[in-house]
């Protein structure tokens, strides 16, 4: 057995050597192959939509599985995906049912080592993507045994999902998912929220191949390994061709994808994603071996000065916000004047120009403009808070006079997680506070997981760094999911203990809940603007710092779009002859 294995390996080695010698040039030259890279800690964690939680996993899932609805990567608008149209019905109990009419011409496909082929059922028919596949995908995402970290996304909107996920019931029929026929599925939501149709299209609600995961008469069950290249099946504009863990991942065009107005058939044949640190990635770009790269911050000045690179460089908005949270119950920061003074004293323009340098935008409020229903600088130029040294000094002075103390008596601590970027920002802001307010703020850093433990708990420091990126492109995902009572950074324990920013404002809570259900976009926008005003100015519960931007560099022969939702739609890209 062992000998056989060795012989086998030797044969493989030999054949590889021979093919390597033989295959110089020749075939495949007319293929359009895009080379790009993921930034970050290395391997793509998973391609299983049920458990994915990070950008790189979701990027590949977006290209290989299409949701019922699709979120336009540039405009963040909801548009048809697998569903061609859908209709909403409000039920008598206040819940709302959306019935999705799906395409019936999309087949499951796989890479067979040579080419993309359609997946056949045990009867030899093509396996088409059906409503049951969607139901199965949602069921897996909510299954406590699968333990999806993102189960809560559906949990907060989909009827019965939270109960199923927590194990209160093991009967999936109690969840608001009804397969009406192969191409019709009805989802029942808890409330008529504006973002229901967005969440219904997210990666947490994508079909998965049940026959492959659990096995059937003609397929061996491969369980959790179904996302590996040797098993993987999908149906979107691309499918997985090769996945060399920690090194590279290649997706290949699915020629059987029918192509829609929103999601066309790809012009590019293959996309090769390397998994490289951003500095290495940029070096590969400069060496000409990858076509689109992220940009390391320390290279930005050089790129801007370079006549060639500067033309290939582009800053696009990214839907994330960077902010400093205040512990609204801690000494000194429990007074709104101190919080407002600290926030007013931050010269955000100077910070993004001189410290972060990556084209970030000074944030006047929390929700990133560009999200559905979020205010924009154009619509609300004076909303929120911005640098005003005199106002800051006046606020602090009023507080100091009240308490009969001096600035030297105000003992403040700023906590951030250990990272050179956060360090630079914290030091710059520390200096601004010193210059404007004559306050000496102590800086403390902690390792990330320790930092999270500290800031999430009841003993959060007076000031701490935080950030938020979108799950779905709606203002609700920012202002309410993060700061409403019980939100991500304002959590409340079962016994009533406040965590995070520890901020209580019932008006704010009522406002954001009402805004979620408001159907008139103009009124919704006004409501969120009012909520932002409460959050960042009236109560100054947090200090928004900047809105993120993407720093991308792309070879001139690439035609591309710039996704603001955290992922790209490569099926819309093209490579010109070069």
Tell me how far, at minimum, the Cβ of 232 lies from another protein, in Å. Answer: 10
| Cβ atoms of residues 68 and 134 within 8 Å | yes
Instruction: Select 44 or 341, whichever has its Cβ closest to another protein.
Output: 44
Tell me how far, at minimum, the Cβ of 554 lies from another protein, in Å. Answer: 18
Contacts of 119 (CB under 8 A, 6+ apart): 107, 108, 109, 110, 126, 127, 209, 233
Please state the three-class secondary structure of 215-260 as a single string. CECCECCCHHHHHCCCCCCECCCEEEEEEECCCEEEEEECCCCCCC
Instruction: Select 48 or 571, whichever has its Cβ closest to another protein.
Output: 48
Tell me how far, at minimum, the Cβ of 270 lies from another protein, in Å. Answer: 17
Tell me how far, at minimum, the Cβ of 332 lies from another protein, in Å. Answer: 25
Tell me how far, at minimum, the Cβ of 440 lies from another protein, in Å. Answer: 27
Q: What is the DSSP string of 367-395?
A: SPBTBBT---TTT-TT-S----HHHHHHH
Contacts of 545 (CB under 8 A, 6+ apart): 322, 323, 324, 346, 348, 351, 363, 425, 429
Tell me how far, at minimum, the Cβ of 470 lies from another protein, in Å. Answer: 10
**Would you give the end-to-end CA distance of the chain in angstroms?**
51
| Cβ atoms of residues 59 and 240 within 8 Å | no
- In degrees, rounded to 5, the angle at the alpha carbon of residue 119 between the alpha carbons of residues 118 and 121 is 135
Instruction: Select 146 or 297, whichever has its Cβ closest to another protein.
Output: 146
Tell me how far, at minimum, the Cβ of 16 lies from another protein, in Å. Answer: 5
The footprint of another protein (CB under 8 A) covers: 6, 9-10, 12-13, 16-17, 20, 41-43, 45-48, 51, 53, 144-149, 151-152, 155, 162, 165-167, 221-225, 227-228, 244-248, 274-277, 279-280, 283-284, 286-289, 447-450, 452-454, 456, 466-469, 471, 488-489, 491
Tell me how far, at minimum, the Cβ of 291 lies from another protein, in Å. Answer: 14
Q: Which residues of 317-354 are buried (b: 16+ CB within 10 A; e: fewer)?
A: bbbbbbbbbbbbebebbebbbbbbbbbbbbbbeebbee
Instruction: Select 37 or 436, whichever has its Cβ closest to another protein.
Output: 37
Instruction: Select 338 or 501, whichever has its Cβ closest to another protein.
Output: 501
Instruction: Select 182 or 286, whichever has its Cβ closest to another protein.
Output: 286
Tell me how far, at minimum, the Cβ of 274 lies from another protein, in Å. Answer: 7
Instruction: Select 68 or 463, whichever has its Cβ closest to another protein.
Output: 463
Q: Tokens 């003992």 label which residue?
A: 411
Instruction: Select 56 or 386, whichever has its Cβ closest to another protein.
Output: 56
Instruction: Select 283 or 377, whichever has its Cβ closest to another protein.
Output: 283
Please state the three-class secondary structure of 111-155 as a single string. ECCCCEEECECCCCCECECCHHHHHHHHHHHHCCCCCCCCHHHHH
**Length of the chain in residues, anyone?**
578
Instruction: Select 94 or 457, whichever has its Cβ closest to another protein.
Output: 457
Q: Tokens 């060399």 label which residue?
A: 244
Tell me how far, at minimum, the Cβ of 499 lies from another protein, in Å. Answer: 9
Residues linked to residue 244 through DSSP beta bridges, in sequence order: 248
CA distances (Å), 470 to each of 46, 250, 413, in order? 20, 26, 28
Tell me how far, at minimum, the Cβ of 248 lies from another protein, in Å. Answer: 8
| Cβ atoms of residues 352 and 360 within 8 Å | yes
Instruction: Select 80 or 227, whichever has its Cβ closest to another protein.
Output: 227
Q: Tokens 């949270």 label which residue?
A: 325
């Amino acid at each position: 057995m062992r000998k056989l294995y060795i012989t086998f390996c030797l044969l493989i080695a030999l054949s590889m050597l021979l093919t390597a010698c033989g295959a110089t040039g020749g075939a495949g030259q007319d293929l359009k192959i895009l080379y790009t890279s993921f930034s970050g800690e290395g391997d793509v964690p998973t391609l299983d939509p049920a458990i994915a939680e990070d950008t790189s996993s979701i990027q590949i899932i977006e290209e290989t599985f299409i949701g019922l609805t699709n979120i336009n990567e540039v405009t963040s608008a909801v548009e048809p995906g697998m569903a061609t149209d859908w209709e909403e019905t409000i039920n008598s109990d206040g819940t709302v049912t959306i019935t999705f009419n799906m395409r019936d011409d999309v087949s499951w496909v796989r890479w067979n080592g040579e080419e993309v082929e359609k997946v056949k059922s045990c009867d030899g028919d093509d396996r088409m993507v059906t409503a049951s596949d969607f139901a199965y995908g949602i069921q897996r995402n909510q299954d406590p045994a699968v333990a999806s970290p993102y189960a809560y996304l559906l949990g907060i909107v989909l009827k019965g999902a939270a109960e199923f996920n927590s194990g209160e019931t093991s009967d999936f029929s109690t969840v608001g998912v009804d397969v009406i026929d192969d191409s019709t599925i009805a989802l029942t939501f808890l409330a008529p929220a504006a973002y229901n149709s967005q969440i219904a299209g997210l990666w947490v609600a994508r079909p998965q191949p049940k026959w492959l995961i659990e096995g059937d008469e003609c397929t061996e069950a491969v369980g959790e390994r179904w996302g590996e290249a040797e098993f993987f099946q999908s149906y979107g504009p691309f499918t997985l061709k090769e996945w060399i863990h920690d090194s590279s991942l290649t997706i290949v065009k699915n020629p059987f994808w029918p192509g829609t107005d929103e999601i066309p058939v790809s012009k590019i044949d293959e996309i090769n994603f390397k998994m490289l640190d951003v500095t290495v990635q940029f070096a590969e770009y400069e060496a000409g071996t990858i076509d689109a790269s992220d940009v390391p911050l320390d290279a930005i000045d050089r790129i801007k000065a370079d006549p060639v690179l500067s033309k290939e460089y582009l800053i696009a908005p990214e839907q994330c916000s960077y902010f400093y949270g205040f512990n609204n119950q801690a000494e000194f920061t429990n007074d709104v004047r101190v919080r407002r003074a600290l926030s007013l004293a931050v010269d955000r323009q100077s910070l993004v120009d001189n410290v972060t340098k990556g084209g970030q935008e000074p944030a006047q409020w929390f929700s990133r403009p560009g999200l559905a229903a979020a205010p924009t600088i154009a619509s609300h130029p004076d909303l929120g808070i911005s640098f005003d040294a005199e106002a800051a000094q006046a606020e602090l002075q009023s507080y100091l006079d009240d308490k009969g103390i001096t600035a030297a008596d105000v003992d403040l601590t700023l906590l951030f997680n250990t990272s050179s970027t956060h360090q630079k920002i914290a030091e710059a802001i520390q200096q601004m506070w010193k210059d404007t307010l004559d306050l000496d703020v102590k800086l403390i850093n902690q390792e990330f997981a320790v930092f999270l433990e500290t800031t999430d708990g009841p003993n959060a420091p007076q000031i701490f760094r935080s950030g938020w990126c979108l799950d779905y492109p709606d203002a609700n995902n920012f202002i309410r999911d993060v700061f409403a009572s019980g939100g991500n950074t304002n959590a409340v324990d079962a016994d009533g203990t406040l965590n995070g920013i520890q901020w209580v404002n019932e008006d704010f809570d009522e406002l954001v809940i009402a805004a979620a259900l408001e159907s008139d976009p103009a009124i919704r926008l006004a409501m969120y603007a009012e909520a932002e005003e409460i959050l960042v100015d009236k109560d100054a519960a947090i200090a928004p710092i900047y809105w993120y931007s993407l720093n991308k560099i792309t070879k001139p022969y690439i035609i591309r779009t710039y996704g603001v939702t955290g992922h790209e739609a490569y099926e819309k890209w093209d490579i010109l002859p070069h």
